[in-house]
Homo-oligomer: A and B are copies of this chain.
Amino acid sequence: MSEPKNNHDTRERILDVAERLFMEHGYEGTSMRVITTAAEVNLAAVNYHFGSKEALLCAVFRRRLGWLNRERLQALDVLEAQAGGAPLKPSQILEAFFGTLLRMGEDESRGGMTFLRLLGRTLTEPAEFIRTFFANEYAEVIDRYKLALFRALPDVPKAEIVWRLHFMLGAMSYAIAGTDVLRVVTGCELGDLAGEQNADAAGDSALARRLSQRLMPFLLGGLRAPLSNLAAPSAAAPESPGEGGQKPEV
């Protein structure tokens, strides 16, 4: 309301640095000393501006998630208005939900890939206050998208849809968080993304686009996969890639 001088600078600088360091070393692995040193502010500044380390982490996320949530809800609003009461197509819903996020990765002013990676990693942090924070932040959006998916896939049991939504969130989080996990686990054979650490702006933006192109078909394929035939998981489903029996219903 009435901050006099470069208060804004300090706050934002702390948030920027914390965003990056939390992403690189995790919440517990990042001390306030390291943050304040890198941000070139005094050690006491974090407690003055945010109150505590936990509150700092929440502030880092609130700065980005407010916009993301609005964007996601609005994307759904637009689609539903266009459809005029008819159910949406699954691909539209996924594009609205995941596409909106992945486009953040191309937008440096919204945190870019740094924030996306941080988000992916933090979603799996065990600390209690983090869980409840995300539960509150995400509740409304997840609920809207869940309902949209229920309507889009009326023949698929709701429990199954929720599971698959969860799988999709996992695939995305992990893919985003793990540009280096990927290097570790798969042995760095992804050609063009080989540029070690993020080449900041250009490389990150390209990575976000490529990731989106790869991820969306995968998610859609998983979401629309035929349901489990209850018992034996390995014998019945058709195999050859050309013509699988794609029947999500019962």
By secondary structure, the A interface counts as helix
- Decide: A237 and B220 in contact? CB cutoff 8 A: yes
Tell me the complex Cα distance, A29–B14, Å.
Answer: 24
- Decide: A190 and B163 in contact? CB cutoff 8 A: yes
The tally of residues in A whose CB lies under 8 Å from a CB in B reads: 89
- Decide: B171 and A135 in contact? CB cutoff 8 A: no
Tell me the residues in window 155-191 of chain A with beta carbons closer than 8 Å to chain B beta carbons: 155-156, 158-160, 162-175, 177-178, 180-182, 184-187, 189-191
- Known A29-B126, A134-B184; 6 more pairs at CB < 8 Å: A89-B239, A162-B186, A162-B189, A163-B218, A169-B185, A222-B222
- Decide: B216 and A185 in contact? CB cutoff 8 A: no
Q: How many copies does the complex hold?
A: 2
With a cutoff of 8 Å between Cβ atoms, the chain B residues found around residue A160 in the complex are: 214
- Decide: A91 and B237 in contact? CB cutoff 8 A: yes
Tell me the complex Cα distance, A165–B191, Å.
Answer: 15
- Decide: A218 and B142 in contact? CB cutoff 8 A: no
- Decide: A187 and B142 in contact? CB cutoff 8 A: yes
With a cutoff of 8 Å between Cβ atoms, the chain B residues found around residue A222 in the complex are: 171, 218-219, 221-222, 225
Known: A123-B181, A177-B124, A216-B228. A241 touches B166 (CB 8 A): no
Tell me the residues in window 110-125 of chain A with beta carbons closer than 8 Å to chain B beta carbons: 120-121, 123-125
Tell me whether A63 is interfacial, beta carbon within 8 Å: no
A225 to B, closest residue via Cβ: B221
With a cutoff of 8 Å between Cβ atoms, the chain B residues found around residue A134 in the complex are: 184-185
Known: A125-B26, A225-B222. A166 touches B186 (CB 8 A): yes
Contact of A181 among B131, B158, B187, B223 (CB under 8 A): B131
- Decide: B24 and A126 in contact? CB cutoff 8 A: yes
